[in-house]
Amino acid sequence: MNSSVKKKVRVKKTVCAVTATAMLCLAQPVWGDNSVPGSGVAVSDTVTTTVNNGGSAASESVTDNEIPKGAKISSKQAEEIVKKAFPELKNVKVTNVQFLEDDGMRSNALAWDIQLVLNKGNSSSGFSAQVNAVTGELINIYLPNRILNNESDKPVITREQAKAKALQWIASHASDVKTSDFKENEAYLGMQAALFSPPRFEFYFQTAHNGIESDVNSISITLDGQGNIMSYSRNQIKEEFPSSTPKLDEASIRKLFEEQFQVSLAYVPENLYNNSKGNYFLGYIPNDQSSYSLDANTGKFIGFTGEESELISIENRTIPASGEAFKPVTASLSGGEAAAQWVESQIKLPSGLKTESKTLGTRWSNKETKTWNIRWTDSSVSSMGRGEMVSAELDAKTGQIYSYSRYRYDSSGTPEVKSPISQQAAQKLAFDTVTKLVPNASQEWKLTSVDKLGKNNTGLSYQFSFQRYVGDIRVMGDSVNLAIDGNGQIQNFNVNSDAVLSKLPTDVKPAISAEQARSQYLKEIDLKLKYGYYGGYSMGNEITKPFIRLIYYATHKRAAYGGITVPLDAKSGEWRDITPEISRKDIPAVTDAAGHSAEAALKELVKYRVLVPDKDGKVYPERQITLGEWYQLVAAAVSPSYEQLYGRSTMDPYAGLQPDHPYYQAIQVLLGQNWIPYDPESPLQLDRKLTRDELASSLTRILNYEKLSKAFILPTDVQGISDADAVSNKGAALIALKLGLLPAVDGKFLPEREVTRAEAAEVLVRMSKLAGRSDSFLSTFYW
């Protein structure tokens, strides 16, 4: 008897939240099939699928014409909507479909989640699409590269052409939006496209409401170099918008903003996310409170929660020296139980908690610092989904607590605090806590802000911010944040103190005054009207309800990613850029390449930030490069922001190089790509001038033709070259010649000639044309 059995195997897809902060985490987009650029969706090769056990049931359709309660379209219609939008999915199998009462986006809409899989032989690529089950609108989709079947010899479109295609496609598939009202937000785009990356255009559009900029609804879309849609995602919310007419005009808000705006003299890191060398300069930065938005109707300052901020006036910012000062442990905390007991002796934990895990590791920002990570839980957390959890990280040698966080899992609402702690008592507790937990607290730290959160006594908490100082000068980035709830319990504690005080430029004197700096800031700061979106996060014991406010926000004209924290050099009076290079438009024009035979290649490298001109626009085409400089150029061709990726590296020294060596980050990139042999004990001759012979060998390693090159060892293998006898790696020279990467010069290969910047630029541009066209070069990505 012939029978078949069909069953559905369901595997949950992974979804990651995309935020502005996360966007400035500084990771190059992955090129493989398992990532959704800009959408935050990770696509697994293990997918929901229909399994057939001996029959033809696998050919039956997974979708049907049933319409669940509340929906207006069936799963079959949802499948048709997806395949109509993307004709290339015509023959792709739907392996499972699921009706969702919450689409996982801001809208919490009813949705159809459709799982699809592309099979090619015994390999497969799984992905999914979501369709609004009421409106039939496509919510989210990502297409694996193998489905698009891009022909790399087709002409690549420009970003402007890609944007026009994107807007046209959105207008056809989201009928309720006006693309003319879109605002492109470039701060969410992640890393800049690299010279070696396949062309890809990512757009993040925020939709205006009544002509006003909005954080509320957004659409992200990605196109490949030929203009094919690779991914699409739309966020919508149900909350009502307040009136678009502000009660206070910009002039009134400007007056309120300027009345409170102040700047501080500070030691500023030269690179915000890549300060491995610990270099600082003396500059002016705005006080933290000056970055707050203002309610467009009341003029009140708005905190990060969206509530009107009750910033409390601070009379005494200095931490009293009378409290119990920090004392390191007398012996290293070699055991997890000892570490847990030490934390319990320093901070009063909620009653009923027991240690759940104790892990010994290293501090994220310093590999040399060993830390214990301890977690305590209430036994009711796992059995009833209620109770509390506490986590802490502390130094295994000194016992210093770096972080402490308390969470509640109660499903009930936040209870009102019966006997709330006063602001005065909370501040005394904050001083005592910081004195006890932070070394040299009274000498180096000052209280800079106190913020009261919560309405009435429900969800009441005080947020204290402390900054590190050397005398009266603040150390930017070194901070202590402490939250105390209405019951006088510590909710959160976090300390960051990376600066080595002995390396700070304490002998530098400001050439301009704070008032002059304040005046310069106010000339550069604009106040803009928009709808801000808040809520939807945990506060106390409940998830706060999302809401929208009409606000004015401050932005500095020179801030690449928004905000107003652009340091002003206190010595030169010039604005300093300390943020990563991601998508800058202020690249200096090249001034010394006009008429050079490699002019086009040099400008291409500058365009992709592989080569950065000096302040005079010079790139020095005829300057000979070293092996280390060649590695830097290749690393930047992979990722122009590679230094930020490895800027806080805690990896081991390699080939005698410490992480702060100028070539260290570039070598890490090439090791990750397997473009140099892994030999951590052998020193690298990085300062030796690079020859054409060595360059050819490096190219074959990058192209993954190294073994092939060893098959050619005779001078006759390199035909047409009169100096073939002098070439050390004849196979490498042959491959470089045949691919046109390193052309002959007057019939000679010139193996001992040293490579210039101009020649290296031409080689890299030629190689970039092979990305996606070679069977081996960048066919996979090793991040």
Residue in this structure with the two tokens 């792709």, named with its chain if needed: 92
Average pLDDT of the chain to the nearest whole number: 82
Cα separation, 733 vs 713, whole angstroms:
10
Whether residue 245 lies inside any domain: the answer is: no
- Residues 438 and 538 placed together within one structural domain of the fold: no
Instruction: Pick from 407-421, 604-618, 686-700 the range whose average pLDDT is largest.
Output: 686-700
Q: Quote the Cα angle for 326-327-328, to 5°.
A: 120
Whether residue 540 lies inside any domain: the answer is: yes
Cα separation, 619 vs 40, whole angstroms:
38
Q: 713 versus 63: which is more confidently predicted?
A: 63
Q: Which of 89-103, 265-279, 468-482 has the lowest mean pLDDT?
A: 265-279
Give me the pLDDT at residue 498, please. Answer: 86
- Residues 355 and 445 placed together within one structural domain of the fold: yes
Give me the pLDDT at residue 554, please. Answer: 95
- Residues 217 and 343 placed together within one structural domain of the fold: no
| Residues 598 and 761 sit within 8 Å (Cβ to Cβ) | yes
Cα separation, 117 vs 95, whole angstroms:
7
Give me the pLDDT at residue 758, please. Answer: 97
Give me the pLDDT at residue 157, please. Answer: 79
Confidence of residue 273 (pLDDT cuts 50, 70, 90): low
Task: Give which of 84, 45, 63 is closest to 8, Cα–Cα.
Answer: 63
- Residues 515 and 495 placed together within one structural domain of the fold: no
- Residues 482 and 402 placed together within one structural domain of the fold: yes
Give me the pLDDT at residue 312, please. Answer: 67
Q: Which amino acid is at 176?
A: D
Phi/psi at 448 (5° precision): -110, -25
277-293: average pLDDT: 89
Whether residue 315 lies inside any domain: the answer is: no
Give me the pLDDT at residue 98, please. Answer: 93
**CB neighbour list of residue 769: distance below 8 Å, 6 or more residues apart:** none
- Residues 122 and 227 placed together within one structural domain of the fold: yes
Give me the pLDDT at residue 237, please. Answer: 80
As given in the structure block, the two tokens for residue 51 are 């399994």
Whether residue 667 lies inside any domain: the answer is: yes
Give me the pLDDT at residue 192, please. Answer: 55
Whether residue 68 lies inside any domain: the answer is: yes
Tell me how far apart the terminal alpha carbons of the chain are, to the nearest angstrom: 52
Cα separation, 232 vs 85, whole angstroms:
11
Among residues 499, 534, 560, the one where a domain terminates is: 499
Whether residue 373 lies inside any domain: the answer is: no
Give me the pLDDT at residue 107, please. Answer: 60
Dump pLDDT digits (tens) for 707-731.
899 888 888 888 889 999 999 999 9
- Residues 257 and 140 placed together within one structural domain of the fold: no
Is the confidence at residue 670, as pLDDT, over 50?
Answer: yes
690-716: average pLDDT: 92
- Residues 551 and 631 placed together within one structural domain of the fold: no
Is the confidence at residue 642, as pLDDT, over 60?
Answer: yes
- Residues 230 and 291 placed together within one structural domain of the fold: no
Cα separation, 183 vs 280, whole angstroms:
36
Is the confidence at residue 27, as pLDDT, over 60?
Answer: no
Among residues 478, 499, 520, the one where a domain terminates is: 499
Q: Tell me which residue range forms the domain holding 294.
A: 250-310+509-569
683-695: average pLDDT: 94
Whether residue 706 lies inside any domain: the answer is: yes
Which residues are bridge partners to 366 per DSSP?
363
Dump pLDDT digits (tens) for 506-515.
999 999 999 9
* The CA-based dihedral angle spanning residues 259, 265, 269, 272, taken in that order and rounded to the nearest 10 degrees: 0
Question: pLDDT above 90 covers what percent of the chain?
Answer: 50
Which helix (H) or strand (E) segment holds residue 548: the answer is strand 547-556
SS3 172: helix
Task: Give which of 690, 614, 639, 629 is closest to 662, Cα–Cα.
Answer: 629
- DSSP for 284-332 reads EEE-GGGG-EEETTT--EE-TTSSBPEEPP-S--BPPTTS------SS-
Which helix (H) or strand (E) segment holds residue 668: the answer is helix 664-672
Cα separation, 317 vs 299, whole angstroms:
26
Angle separating helix axes 664-672 and 627-638, nearest 10 degrees: 60
Dump pLDDT digits (tens) for 174-220.
878 888 888 887 665 544 578 887 777 889 998 888 889 888 888 99
Q: 666 versus 538: which is more confidently predicted?
A: 666
Count of the separate structural domains present in the chain:
4
Q: Which of 80-94, 379-393, 753-767 has the lowest mean pLDDT?
A: 379-393
Instruction: Pick from 277-286, 437-446, 603-612 the range whose average pLDDT is largest.
Output: 437-446
Whether residue 372 lies inside any domain: the answer is: no
- Residues 25 and 158 placed together within one structural domain of the fold: yes
* Rg value, the chain, Cα: 30
Residue in this structure with the two tokens 């996360």, named with its chain if needed: 22
- Residues 143 and 10 placed together within one structural domain of the fold: yes
- Residues 630 and 751 placed together within one structural domain of the fold: yes
pTM of the predicted model, to two decimals?
Answer: 0.71
Among residues 212, 235, 258, the one where a domain terminates is: 235
Is the confidence at residue 634, as pLDDT, over 70?
Answer: yes
Q: Which of 175-189, 269-283, 525-539 has the lowest mean pLDDT?
A: 175-189
Cα separation, 546 vs 242, whole angstroms:
13
122-136: average pLDDT: 88
Q: Which of 33-47, 122-136, 191-205, 679-693 has the lowest mean pLDDT?
A: 33-47
Confidence of residue 47 (pLDDT cuts 50, 70, 90): very low
Task: Give which of 377, 372, 407 is closest to 392, Cα–Cα.
Answer: 372
Give me the pLDDT at residue 636, please. Answer: 92
